[in-house]
Amino acid sequence: QVQLVESGGGLVQAGGSLRLSCAASGFAFSRYTMGWFRQAPGKEREFVASISWGAGNTYYTDSVKGRFTISRDNAKNTVFLQMNSLKFEDTAVYYCAAAFPGTPVSVGGYNYWGQGTQVTVSS
């Protein structure tokens, strides 16, 4: 039974911070690239950040570089997304996903998905 459960979303003022968590189970977490995607109303789901299985490589979409940080704790089967200096444009449902093999940045490259958590940034 594969599960990816996101938490930590909510409502925050522009300039504020949130930390998203994704608890994984039912697969070999430490061998998978983990990623975060987001989808705003009326828009396509887009890549936000990813971290390789060994945590040696991280990737970010340009719009979040310098503001968001992805990390993982393989002992706890958990991946995090620290979001600082939040902007209205960051408002979306955020999804945790797992990929094998490689370190993809496309939706199609990911095998497992969580249910999503809402992040709303007010101005």
* 41-48 contact pairs (CB < 8 A, 24+): 43/92, 45/95, 45/107, 47/105, 47/106, 47/107, 48/81, 48/94
Structure tokens at 60: 């970010």
Cα separations in angstroms, 88 against 22, 52, 122:
23, 28, 6
Specify whether the CB–CB gap between 23 and 75 falls below 8 A: no
Specify whether the CB–CB gap between 114 and 93 falls below 8 A: no
Confidence at residue 79, expressed as pLDDT on a 0 to 100 scale: 97
Distance separating alpha carbons of residues 96 and 107, to the nearest angstrom: 11
Confidence at residue 56, expressed as pLDDT on a 0 to 100 scale: 79
Paired with 69 in beta bridges are 82
Confidence at residue 67, expressed as pLDDT on a 0 to 100 scale: 98
Confidence at residue 16, expressed as pLDDT on a 0 to 100 scale: 98
Cα maximum dimension of the chain:
40
Confidence at residue 59, expressed as pLDDT on a 0 to 100 scale: 96
Confidence at residue 55, expressed as pLDDT on a 0 to 100 scale: 72
Confidence at residue 91, expressed as pLDDT on a 0 to 100 scale: 98
User: Position 38: which residue type?
Assistant: R
**For each of the chain's 123 residues, which pLDDT tens digit applies?**
999 999 999 999 999 999 999 999 999 999 999 999 999 999 999 999 999 987 779 999 999 999 999 999 999 999 999 999 999 999 999 999 999 989 999 999 999 999 999 999 998
